[in-house]
Structure 1
Amino acid sequence: MFKRNIGGGDAVVRVLAAAILFALALLYHQTWGLIGVVPLVTGVVGLCPLYSVLGIRTTMAPKAAAHA
């Protein structure tokens, strides 16, 4: 149905951002840090709906098969 549009580096940054938001939310006892769910889910799943709408892909392009 949907193809991955988030590459490995982008996914790592999103998961780290989520971890920081969760840590700050716990540290300051705030619920706003729960917004970290968004980068966590998109980073783990590898699909960002906004990227799909904008036509952005951070994945590597598939390599063309070499002809013999």
Structure 2
Amino acid sequence: MSVQHAKAAVPEAAWIKSSYSTGNGGECVEVAAATGEVLIRDSKQPAAARLAVGADAWAGFVRMAAGR
């Protein structure tokens, strides 16, 4: 995992907000697929630092979070 302080080379349209986001200003994350990795950022601070994890690590996290 790494933290990226520069903007990644993904367009704004590539970012997907969590389906659990209510739009009421709560804790929301957004993800975007990049070559071989998944970028994760705070939707309230999109220009701030973001995490980059490998695609396999992200898939494992999603499986674990879904309880599968």
- Bin the TM-score by the shorter chain: under 0.3
Name the one with the larger strand percent. Answer: 2
Structure number with the bigger relative contact order (C-alpha 8 A, sep ≥ 6) is: 1
The structure whose residues are more often helix, as a share, is 1
Relative to the length of structure 1, the TM-score reads 0.23
